[in-house]
Amino acid sequence: MLHHTEETLGLLVCPVFDSIKEIPERLGFGESQFAGSMKTLWYMGAKGRLVPDISEMIADITPKGQLVFDIFGGTGAVSQSLVSDYTVYANDVQCYSSVVLGATVEHGPRSSSRLRALLNFDKDIRPRFDKHKAVLLKAFKEPIEKEREGLREALDGRLENYRRFVQETPIYPCAKKDLAPLWKNAAPYLTEDAFTGFKGKQSRDQQHLMTSYYQGVYFSLEQAIELDSLRVAISEIEGHYAARKRRHYLAALLCAASTSTSGTSHFAQPRNLKRDRELKAVAKRRASSITGVMKDYSGKLKEYLSQTKFHSGNKVYKSDYRSLLSRVRRRPATIYADPPYTSDNYSRFYHVLEVLARYDYPRLARRRDGQLSKGRYPERDYRFQSGFCAAPKVENEFRRLAHSSSRLGSSLVVSYALPTGLLFKRFLPGCGTEKRALQQFLGIFRECYKKVSLVQRSLMHSGQGDSNHRVSELLVRCRLPRKAAGCAI
């Protein structure tokens, strides 16, 4: 059960991989992912290692066949463990997550085998992908050749040419006059004019969002071109089961982008390329083929579908949990809540995945000096700000969660971390000890539930950079909602 201590390797920095088999275990996605499940995004706070404990706790209080809500679904790790025994409604406020949840959760007993039989990458994707890639490769012919050569040499340990290529790569938005001759043909894609007034007018053949925004930032030029070409090919799938196929491939593409970033393991900011070690690491990431990794993920998804027996009625939502719980028609027997722990909004760390999923050319945020931010974030109103990530709001957010769940008459299981959870950072100075802060935390749930119990497990969490720290993962189990619970929210 949950008392023993477990350690992980923590955050590995920049491994080489050409297929998903070689992608390291990290970010909480440890080995104890259960049989028949599939690892999807590289994600902070993914519950891979804790899934057996969480599903056991849910099973203890939820009769088989009942409805379970996973309201902060993320990678879908927890939902995947539930879909055979329960009807699962999975939700996340981020579009990329809801696509991944859709591809792994929203199936019925028959639809998953039907979909599997119809998926064929070479027919569904390849022709349109090749056509689009050819258009973009034509505009970027010379830089692509230089990049390929530089990467080949860098993988052999010779870094000079690749370093020069990286230093001279123009990053959107550039002035046409500043473009070196090598890049002149690509001017329409790299200058700000490429985007002014274009919305809706651009032909399908010209889609270039990832290439313009993120080549040389989070991906190589060729990877960014592949991302655009695959995204266009996915959006043009038509015919039988088209919507399900599009979701399947888009989920595979999002997983490929998430594991191929040459940031560290997310998109909070691009990596520094000054030191040889950094340049080598980035070259290894950028030498991988997004198409190859995406195909691998599509295969993994198919394998997962073939091994999973889906209960009927599963659904996926893309919603703020607050509005979801206020408009739900069917009472969930149990709600599983795994909200963000820290002040880091997922919309900032994974903004590139959101842009790739929505593919809507958002305006990029500018700093005070008028320059685009180094992380190339979309403007603030594009990025969802979670109340769980804001110190002044987090306590109220937990109250609202407990209150809304009890009002529905549902049991509630909550994951959180001690002492790193933002709410504990608020409580600790006043409480003095972790023990008292924990009691204050549990008190929030006791306002709304008659029976509240806790299990704790000690784990190593990977921090930013290479730092690891020990935290206590909490699982709070809340049963017997109080009638007319008077939580102040």
Ligand X SMILES: C[S@@+](CC[C@H](N)C(=O)[O-])C[C@H]1O[C@@H](n2cnc3c(N)ncnc32)[C@H](O)[C@@H]1O
Please state the φ and ψ torsions of residue 227, each to the nearest 5 degrees.
Answer: -60, -45
Contact flag: residue 139 with ligand X (CB under 6 A):
no
Site map (CB under 6 A) of ligand X, residues 201-220, x = contact:
--------------------
Q: Which of the ranges 11-19, 73-81, 109-117, 286-294 carries the binding residues for ligand X, by CB under 6 A?
A: 73-81
- β-pairing verdict for 468-481 and 411-418: antiparallel
Cβ-proximal residue to ligand X, closest one? 74
112 vs 80: CA distance, rounded Å: 14
- When binding is defined by CB under 6 A, the residue of 17, 42, 69, 72 that contacts ligand X is 72
Q: How many residues bind ligand X (CB under 6 A)?
A: 21
Element (H, E) at 287: none
Q: What angle do CA 301, 415, 256 make, to 5 degrees?
A: 25
Q: Find the shortest distance in angstroms from Cβ 29 to ligand X.
A: 8
In the complex with ligand X, the residue whose CB is nearer, 221 or 337, is 337
Contact flag: residue 418 with ligand X (CB under 6 A):
no
- Decide if 413 contacts 475 (C-beta within 8 A): yes
In the complex with ligand X, the residue whose CB is nearer, 74 or 332, is 74
Q: Find the shortest distance in angstroms from Cβ 408 to ligand X.
A: 16
Site map (CB under 6 A) of ligand X, residues 307-336, x = contact:
-------------xx---------------
In the complex with ligand X, the residue whose CB is nearer, 40 or 229, is 40
* Residues in 93-112 at the binding interface with ligand X, rule: CB under 6 A: 93-94, 97
- Helix, strand, coil tally for the chain in percent (to 5): 50, 10, 40
225 vs 214: CA distance, rounded Å: 10
* Plot region of 218 (φ>0 → left; ψ -120 to 50 → alpha; else → beta): alpha
* Residues in 33-62 at the binding interface with ligand X, rule: CB under 6 A: 43, 45-47
User: What would the DSSP string read from start to end of 176-244?
Assistant: GGG--GGGGGGHHHHBGGGTTTTTTTS-GGG--HHHHHHBTTTB-HHHHHHHHHHHHHHHT--STTHHH
In the complex with ligand X, the residue whose CB is nearer, 43 or 183, is 43
* Residues in 243-302 at the binding interface with ligand X, rule: CB under 6 A: none
Q: Find the shortest distance in angstroms from Cβ 480 to ligand X.
A: 25
* Residues in 358-397 at the binding interface with ligand X, rule: CB under 6 A: 386, 388
Give Cβ neighbours of residue 486 (< 8 Å, ≥ 6 apart): 447
Q: What SS3 state is found at 5?
A: strand
- When binding is defined by CB under 6 A, the residue of 39, 66, 88, 92 that contacts ligand X is 92
- When binding is defined by CB under 6 A, the residue of 23, 67, 78, 90 that contacts ligand X is 78
Among 116, 100, 111, which Cα is nearest to 316's? 100
Nearest-10 Cα torsion for 184, 185, 191, 194: 170
Contact flag: residue 338 with ligand X (CB under 6 A):
yes
Contact flag: residue 183 with ligand X (CB under 6 A):
no
Cross-strand bridge partners of residue 115: none
Q: Which residues bind ligand X (CB under 6 A)?
A: 43, 45-47, 72, 74-75, 77-78, 92-94, 97, 320-321, 338-340, 346, 386, 388
